[in-house]
Amino acid sequence: MVYVCRGLIIALLMSFLGGCAIRGLGYAEGIASFQRQDYRQAFIRLKPEAKRGQPDAQYAVGYMYYYGQGVVENREKAKYWIIEAASHGQPDAIRAAKLMGIPVPPHPKPVPMPPRM
């Protein structure tokens, strides 16, 4: 019985740690794709990170929606993601929001950090 419990604990820890590595990999690959101007791949990789609250990913997704890069142009979705990123204190998103005439909250939300690789 003890060995079964240990095995289950080890399996759970391995799956948790593996999930963290995959999430960090998606973020890193998304940023690399964005920098290579492979916007479709960047969008696919960064959208889940944006949904998790990662501000750089949120800004990148908003940018891609705004300019229709890698995704169909949608200014409303762009505005949503840029506001989300700005509310986390993402500097580019704050500038973009101000240029769009969107007020930025004075007290940003806490920033979730991507996992270390």
Q: Is the pLDDT of residue 78 over 60?
A: yes
Structural domains in the chain plus CATH codes: 2-99 (1.25.40.10)
103 — pLDDT class (breaks 50, 70, 90): confident
**Cα 79 to the center of its chain, rounded Å:** 15
**pTM (predicted TM-score):** 0.72
Which of the 8 DSSP states describes residue 52? T
The two three-digit tokens of residue 23, written as one number: 């999430």
Residue with tokens 């909250």: 105
N residues, the chain: 117
More confident call, 91 vs 109:
91
Residue with tokens 């991507």: 114
Q: What is the mean pLDDT of residues 19-42?
A: 81
**Tens digit of each residue's pLDDT (9 = 90 or more) over 38-67:** 999 999 999 999 999 999 999 999 999 999
